[in-house]
Amino acid sequence: MWTESNSFKISRELPFQQIHEDYILLDSKNAKAHELNVVAFSIWQQLHVEKPYQELLAELMNEFEIDLDSLKRDLSLFINDLLTKDLITITNG
């Protein structure tokens, strides 16, 4: 379980392919492909370095036109999905 005081970082580098406005992460270890939209790919790119949740949230608010409640909900769902797939790790807390 994570909280808003945690930081996150990608677990391992995955190659990707851009197809129009979507990005496909290629996870050869698990024989999976993960499709990301522009917002999700921005999050992925930011997590190449350890990033606190609050900083990630602030940067996404500046980058995309979305209300805070929707962003928090969507970001939480995406973080949970990435954690479940072992694509990111919690780096503190």
What pLDDT is attached to residue 93? 56
**Domain total in the chain:** 1
C-alpha–C-alpha distance, residues 45 and 53, integer Å: 14
Q: What is the mean pLDDT of residues 2-10?
A: 96
The SS3 assignment for 56 reads helix
CATH of the domain at 28: 3.90.930.60
Residue 27 lies in a domain: yes
What pLDDT is attached to residue 40? 95
Residue 71 lies in a domain: yes
Range of the domain at 39: 7-90
CA atoms within 13 A on the CB side of 17: 6
pTM score, whole prediction: 0.90
Share of the chain above pLDDT 70, in %: 99
Residue 1 lies in a domain: no
92 in Cβ contact with 6 (< 8 Å) = yes
Residue 2 lies in a domain: no
DSSP codes of every residue in 34-55: EEE-HHHHHHHHHTTS-EEHHH
